[in-house]
Structure 1
Amino acid sequence: MEVKVVQRPQISMWIEMDKIGRKPSGSLRFDPHRARGQQRVQVLISARLQPARVSNKQRASALEASYNSYKNFPASILESESINGPYDESVILKNKSQEIEPYLSGRCIYLVGMMGSGKTTVGKVLSQVLGYSFCDSDSLIEEEVNGTPVSDIFQLYGEGFFRDKETEILRKLSIMHRIVVSTGGGAVMRPINWKHMQNGISVWLDVPLEALAQRISAVGTKSRPLLHSDSSDAYRNTYKRLSNLFEERSEAYANANARVSLENIAVKLGYRDVSTLTPTAIAIEALDQIENYLKDEEGMSFGTF
C-alpha cells in the first residue's frame, strides 16, 4: 500500500518578542521549499539583535566580581532545607543568569543528551530566566509533517526521513538568536548538525542510565520508537536499549561545549539520588558550565569565585 505524506502548506515558528526585552529592527522570513511541490516552510523570526559590545577587560572585571553563584555557598548551607527550597533556588538561578547573559551575546543554547534527560524541562527554565525563547526540535519536525507524532513519523517514513528533517530544522535555527533549543537524542550523530549548532553553545545533560530507564519505563515507551518493546520487564528492556544507544552516542555527546553531570550536582548538594534534583538546580549547574566555557573561550584568567 502506498503511503503519501500529507503536506502542510505552511508552518510558522514565532519567536516570542515579549521575552526579548529589546526592540527589534525588523523581521526575517525564510521560505526555502517553494519548488516542485515541496511543502512551503515559513519561519518568522526577529531580526538579529545588537547586544552591547563588551571588551575582554570588562568581561574579566564583571565575572571576577561575581559572588552570587550557588557553587560559592558553603556545603553546609547548600545541603540545608532552606537553600533547597524553590524560592532560594530561583534567586540563585536569577543571579547567575544576570551574571552571564550579557556575555552570551544572543547566542542560542542547544541542549543535547539522551532521551528522557530533561532537555525540554530544563530548557524552558533556562529560556525563561535568560529572557530567551524556547523550542523543541522534535515538535518542529512534527509540525512540518502535519502534526504527525515522532513515533508515527518513524513508522511511516523511517528514521532517515526524520533525521533529514531534524538537520533541516537545526540549519534554520543556526541563523537565529536568543533561543534555547531542545534537540533530539540522536541529533549528535550527524556531523552536519554540529556544524549548525556551532554558532551557539551546546550543553550536554548527562544523566545516569539507571535514572533514565526509571523515568522512561515509568511513563511507557510507546512515544519513543527506538525504545518501544512489548517486553513485560519494562525497566530491564529500556535500560538495555538505552545502554546500547549511549555506547553509540557517548563520544558524540562529549563534543558539546559544556557538560552538566547530574551525578556531580547530586554530590555537590549532598543527595544520594539524582531524581531528587529539581530542574532549577540542574539549570543553575548548566549556567555555571556555560560560564566556564565562556571563560575558556575568551582565554582570560579569572580569580576564584
Structure 2
Amino acid sequence: MSTTSLVADPRLASSSIPRPWRAIRASRSLSVLEMCRSNRSFNIRRPCRLVILSPIGRNVDSASRLCCSRSGNSSGARMSSVELQPSLELKAKAAEIVDALKGTSLFLVGMNGPIKTKVGKFIADALEYCYFDSDEVVEKVVGGATAARDLRQIDEKGFLESETEVLRQLSSMARLVVCAGEGATQGATNLSYLRYGISVWIDIPVDVMASEMFKEGAQFSNAEDSADAFDESVTELSRRYDKMKGGYATADANISLLKVALKLGYADLGNVTPEDIALEVLKAIENLTRAKKMMEEAGRPF
C-alpha cells in the first residue's frame, strides 16, 4: 500500500472537506513510517513491532515492522539528546516491566505542555518504544502549530474530531508512547480507543504549566505586559483544565506533580524533574500489570 504524506494540501480548504479530520481519513491510513522519515526529530534505529488490532482486539496483522525512536529537539520541548538520556534507575525499572507489558502502548493524557512531552520521551527511550505526539500529527495536517491553535479557537469541535481520528489510528499500533491530545478522554469513542493501551494522567498544576510554557516561548495572548499575559494564560489553562479533568480522572493511573514532590520531600515543585515523574509512571504501570496478572491467575481453574 502506498503511503501518503500528511503535509497540508491547499485542496483541503475546499468547502467539500470542512474539517481537517477528513484530511486524515482521506489518507486511508496514518503512515507512521512516513512520519518517521519526514520528521528530522526521529531516528530510524529501533525495531518496534506493530500489531494491528481489530475492533474486538484480535491480532489481524503483525507482519509489519517499524524502526523509530525520537531524540533531539522537537516542538514543545527543547532538550538535547544528552538531557533526554534516561538514568540507570529509570532504565532498570523499564527493564523490569517491559516483558509484562507485552508491547502494550501507553497513552499519556492531561493538559499539554513541555513537562508532559519530556516525560513521554523519557519513558519511550527507557522502554525502547516509539514516541508520538498526537497534536503534532494534527499540526502536520492543518499546516503548523499556529494553524492548529487558530483552528482550536475558531472550530474547537473540528479540532477535537481531528484528535479523535489520530487517536483511532495510533491506537491500532503497539509499542508506542503517545502524548495524547487534551481532548483524548472526552467521549465514549475516545475512551474506547484508550482501552487498547494503558492510560496515565500526568497532572500538572496550571500555574506550573503556564510557567513552563512561557519558558518555551509559547504565547497565549497579545497582552504587551508579561505579567498580564501570564495571568491570562493561567485563566485559559484553568478553564480548559476544569472542562477536561473529569475525563482525565478515568485514566488507569494518575501521576500528580504535587504528590511526586511530597513523596520526594520537595517543598519547591520546580525541583521535581520530568524524569522523576517518568519513574513514577513506570512504577504505576508495574502495579497495574501485577494486579492484572493476579486477576488472571485467580480466574484460572484448579
TM-score between the two structures when normalised by the length of structure 1: 0.68
Answer yes or no: is the 8 Å Cα contact 1:205–1:259 preserved in 2: yes
- Greater CA deviation, 104-113 or 87-96? 87-96
User: Which structure 1 residue ranges, 5 or more long, are not aligned?
Assistant: 29-44, 50-85
User: Which structure 2 residue ranges, 5 or more long, are not aligned?
Assistant: 1-9, 14-22, 37-42, 53-60, 66-82, 297-302
Which residue of 127, 149, 152 corresponds with 1:151? 149
Structure 1 residues 188-199: aligned runs within 5 Å: 188-199=185-196
Q: Deviation of residue 146 (structure 1)? A: 4.5
Q: What root-mean-square deviation, in Å, do the aligned CA atoms of Structure 1 and Structure 2 show?
A: 3.2
2:163 aligned partner, one-letter code: E
Q: Deviation of residue 164 (structure 1)? A: 1.3
2:250 aligned partner, one-letter code: N
Q: Aligned equivalents of 1:236 and 1:5: distance in 2?
A: 36
Indicate how the Cα distance of structure 1 residues 229 and 201 shifts in structure 2: closer, same or farther if over 3 A, else same: farther
**Is 1:182–2:169 an aligned residue pair?**
no
**Is 1:18–2:45 an aligned residue pair?**
yes
* Aligned residue number for residue 67 of structure 1: none
User: CA offsets, 1:104-146, max 9 Å, x none?
Assistant: 1111100011122622211111111101001110111122235
Q: Deviation of residue 46 (structure 1)? A: 6.8
**Is 1:230–2:223 an aligned residue pair?**
yes
**Is 1:113–2:110 an aligned residue pair?**
yes
Indicate how the Cα distance of structure 1 residues 107 and 220 shifts in structure 2: closer, same or farther if over 3 A, else same: same
Q: Aligned equivalents of 1:117 and 1:259: distance in 2?
A: 18
Q: Aligned equivalents of 1:148 and 1:211: distance in 2?
A: 22
Q: Aligned equivalents of 2:85 and 2:263: distance in 1?
A: 16
Aligned partner of residue 168 in structure 1, secondary structure: helix
Answer yes or no: is the 8 Å Cα contact 2:109–2:182 preserved in 1: yes
Answer yes or no: is the 8 Å Cα contact 1:229–1:237 preserved in 2: no
Q: Deviation of residue 186 (structure 1)? A: 2.5
Indicate how the Cα distance of structure 1 residues 159 and 103 shifts in structure 2: closer, same or farther if over 3 A, else same: same
Answer yes or no: is the 8 Å Cα contact 1:216–1:238 preserved in 2: no
Indicate how the Cα distance of structure 1 residues 277 and 148 shifts in structure 2: closer, same or farther if over 3 A, else same: closer
User: CA offsets, 1:190-240, max 9 Å, x none?
Assistant: 321111111100011111222112223444543xxxx54537312222222
User: Percent identity at matched positions?
Assistant: 35
* Aligned residue number for residue 93 of structure 2: 96
**Is 1:212–2:219 an aligned residue pair?**
no
- Greater CA deviation, 160-169 or 112-121? 112-121
* Aligned residue number for residue 80 of structure 1: none
- Greater CA deviation, 260-269 or 143-152? 143-152
Answer yes or no: is the 8 Å Cα contact 2:103–2:175 preserved in 1: yes
User: CA offsets, 1:168-207, max 9 Å, x none?
Assistant: 1111111100000011122222321111111100011111
* Aligned residue number for residue 73 of structure 1: none
Indicate how the Cα distance of structure 1 residues 18 and 221 shifts in structure 2: closer, same or farther if over 3 A, else same: closer
Aligned partner of residue 176 in structure 1, secondary structure: coil
Q: Deviation of residue 298 (structure 1)? A: 2.9
Q: Aligned equivalents of 1:158 and 1:216: distance in 2?
A: 23
Provide the aligned length of Structure 1 versus Structure 2. Answer: 239
Q: Aligned equivalents of 2:214 and 2:199: distance in 1?
A: 27
2:223 aligned partner, one-letter code: D
Q: Aligned equivalents of 1:213 and 1:134: distance in 2?
A: 24
Q: Aligned equivalents of 1:267 and 1:87: distance in 2?
A: 24
* Aligned residue number for residue 81 of structure 1: none
* Aligned residue number for residue 75 of structure 1: none
Q: Deviation of residue 291 (structure 1)? A: 1.1
* Aligned residue number for residue 39 of structure 2: none
* Aligned residue number for residue 121 of structure 2: 124
* Aligned residue number for residue 289 of structure 2: 294
Answer yes or no: is the 8 Å Cα contact 1:89–1:281 preserved in 2: no
TM-score between the two structures when normalised by the length of structure 2: 0.69
* Aligned residue number for residue 263 of structure 2: 268
Indicate how the Cα distance of structure 1 residues 92 and 234 shifts in structure 2: closer, same or farther if over 3 A, else same: same
1:280 aligned partner, one-letter code: E
